[in-house]
Structure 1
Amino acid sequence: MTDLVFKNARIVLEHEAIQGSLHVKDGRIAAIAEGPCSLPGAIDLEDDWLIPGLVELHTDNLERCFEPRPKVRWPAEAAILAHDAQMALSGVTTVCDAVCVGFYDDKQARLALLSQSLRAIEQARAKDALACDHYLHLRLEITDPNVVALTEPLVDEPSLVVVSFMDHTPGQRQWQDLAKYRQFQMGRNGKTSDEFETMLAQRVEEQVLYAERHKRELLALFAGRSLVMASHDDTTVEHVDEAVRDGITISEFPTTMAAARAARDKGLVTVMGGPNLVLGGSHSGNVSAGELVDEGLLDCFSSDYVPTSLLNAAFIMHRRHERPVPEAVATVTSTPARVLGLSDRGRIAVGLRADLVRVREVGQAVRGMGVWKMGRRIA
């Protein structure tokens, strides 16, 4: 494996940023030095940032590559490769692909999507065609009548590392504002007012019948397995208390300041979507990621539905919210790596994997100008 030397870089370390050079040998970081470097052949970063490769806990991008337009299904292998390329170009070197289990919103094609995506990822991995390291994140819709039966065959999937418990019943959590839910559903699916009311009643009935029972059954299914578990759209202190009771360690996308404060008090890791920060607020009308940053209540970002939002969120946190660069970069690198138990990446330190991103500031945005995984350029 070819050695690399980067010079004239603003290198973001765990607790500080330095101006200097970095040496990669055999896919690992071999040396870091402050000051100028005159070594022939060194790659001149021209004062760009050099940060660790991004670690993504939750992205819906894979599903979007499978269905680029409503009711349009892209071929599985092409979808996987497109998703992988988009993540790599966004600076991501380790990604948890979030796939929904459960037919919320009548999307029954998602089960076929899951099996197809797993097969396609394995095929691409066998041919060394993937740029990023891929893991699986199952999003479990606990109100679905069949979610337990659908999950059972997946618990021994080798790439499975994260499960999240979702309840999208209208009138609570993400959709506590029924007016916004009505606008979202009728605008996206073209439902009539009567169809919307029928669907609303069905969702509420399914929650009463299934939500708590399925959550108990799923927790029993995961008992004793080394999985990271997340709650989704915590809204109340009681939601956070339930998560702690169930052994959950991540609060994904809390919708209120009260829930975010409770998550911090209880020691949960709080994850918010990068698009929320980039856009300056939640499209569902919930608490903004910026408010959580300002209150010191945010630990990680996920790119959610826009891959490039992960890198931009870190630098918006630094510039707009005046957080130190190492702290902001940690939200998309070292903290998610720690959550996943991946101690060999997420930081720039001697001996760790040379997963690196060259970052250039372009006006109010940033762009990855080069991405390396274990010293090999992938974008």
Structure 2
Amino acid sequence: MPQPSDEILARLMGLHPKIIDLTLDRVHRLLAALDHPETRLPPVIHVAGTNGKGSTQAMIRAGLEASGKTVHAYTSPHLARFHERIRLAGTLISEPALSALLDDCDAANGGQPITFFEITTVAAFLAFARTPADFTLLEVGLGGRLDATNVIAKPALTIITPVSIDHQQYLGETLPEIAGEKAGILKRAVPCVVGPQQPDGLAVIEEKAARLGVPLFVHGQHWHAFEDRGRLIYQDETGLLDLPLPNLPGPHQIENAGAAIAALRVLGFDDLACEAAVTKADWPARMQRLRQGPLAQSAPGVELWLDGGHNPAGGEAVAATLSRMVQRPTHLICGMLNTKDIAGYLRPLAAQAQSLTAVSIPNEVNTLPSTATAEAARKAGFAQVTEAGSVTQALDQIAQQDPQARVLICGSLYLAGQVLRENG
């Protein structure tokens, strides 16, 4: 009887004292021990950036699959189950396949130090090398230059979504420094689609691209995407597309859709693929409406939403989304990690919500205590701030006061994962 993947994953967590230790040495060592699966992947589309990586990747996958292509996809972190990180030819990896892969990687590693993300990324490469597909979508975990995914010598395409300040302890204090780390995924002569950037970040990306002879397709220069009269208008040098709005909610998804369409067009896909990217993508915990499950049923009159954004740009995106929704009393249930810019995340949201109920994230070592989240919310300008022992308790409190409220659970992908697990 094979060991359950949860038990193997728990064992792999103990192979390195740090969760994050940015270097590629250990990844290269283990890939060599496994006969270099990274050289046998279907054509790779490599996605870096601070915000929008997952949504952009989901849209590209929807476009490719609508064109009859089979697609491997690697994303992180997972929400409810680790298996979400590895999608094999369109299907989440099975439990037996995951256990076997992890065992193979653990045996090849021979107990040597390696981080959890590094060894599980190698496991994904091994899975992708063993299973035929037409494309491989790789989402960077952190940064780009020293991320464990950055071992593909010649991807088909790279993408850099909007870069903003996050993870300064690993990537640098300034936007140009962080953009430089993201630009580390650029490869000589491999085209790169660039999403909307701040000027000083874009300058770093352009300079690195010029050194490597990288053809750039930059938002605002080579392609444009905007909303006009309830439609998504996309334009580049090959022509204009008039498409439905993205089915992923929020004005920020217009730009993510633009990057996905630009990628599909660079790869030679037609207008039908571009339309499918916009209309068929699915990406949980990005302004996701929760209509089913115990949590939704416990407050049947409440309009319940879930979002995993957790940095200032994420806060701005959520605030912009709320501002464009049909007016309804809006209340936030918020839990965050202590490694994040709490004030920067909460400040844009204060004008969009009547209250914030702070919670701690259960079973999470780095959770910000609810008292600290509540204090930050008061400083950010929220008029009404309370605390609750759990998301369920917070939802009950809000529903009793306002049975027809709009409630958004937000602040962390880890909190979003807990909610999705508990909500079935």
What TM-score, normalized by structure 2, do the two folds share?
0.29
- Of Structure 1 and Structure 2, the greater helix share is in 2
What TM-score, normalized by structure 1, do the two folds share?
0.32
